[in-house]
Amino acid sequence: MQRVTINLDDELAAAIDRLVHTRGYQSRSEAVRDLVRDGLRQTAEDTTSTAECVAALVYVYDNESRELSKRLTRLFHAHHDLTVSSLHVHLDHDTCMEVSILRGGTRDVRHLGGHVIAERGVQYGRLVTIPAQIETEHHHHRGAKAHSHVHTHVRTAG
């Protein structure tokens, strides 16, 4: 077994201590090992899918974090084909929350989401994906000329 040293802020350490107490772990190490295993398992499952999806990427970040806004902007521009829309909210003087709606291949969407969440200065992040079928359709709408645009159909279980 290898020893790994990590630095945690006081809030995160307290949250792990609560988890240790609530679930009855013998130590912090046992709790962290389980959390890491779950995270690795989820990551492995998430990156194997080639299906399409729509997703909401929600993240909170420190607006004062060095160059973070520029890094995030470059990242989203590099993946402009996945981004549908974004909402930016100022939570306080230094903290912002963004919600980005993404659409594309599940692997690509999860890759982008993972990179955003892993950026230094991002304090919280969560990506929620919904399986979908994305099609460009050419058709008429009442009173309008024929045109093409993207339709996203949510896939249902079964």
CA-to-CA distance for 87 and 125, rounded, in angstroms? 14
Q: Check residue 48 and give its pLDDT.
A: 54
pTM (2 d.p.):
0.66
For 32-41, 66-75, 118-127, 146-155, which range has the lowest pLDDT when averaged over its residues?
A: 146-155
Q: Which domain holds residue 20?
A: 1-48
119 and 78 within one domain: yes
| CB-based contacts of 94, cutoff 8 Å, min separation 6 | 62, 63, 64
54 and 37 within one domain: no
Render pLDDT for 128-151 as a digit per residue (tens, 0 to 9).
998 888 777 777 777 778 777 777
130 and 147 within one domain: yes
Report how many domains make up the chain.
2
Residue 99 has pLDDT above 90, yes or no: yes
CA-to-CA distance for 142 and 129, rounded, in angstroms? 32
CA-to-CA distance for 150 and 37, rounded, in angstroms? 38
Helix (H, G, I), strand (E, B) or coil at 77: helix
Sheet containing 52-62, strands listed edge to edge, beginning at the edge strand earlier in sequence: 83-90, 95-105, 52-62, 122-139, 147-154
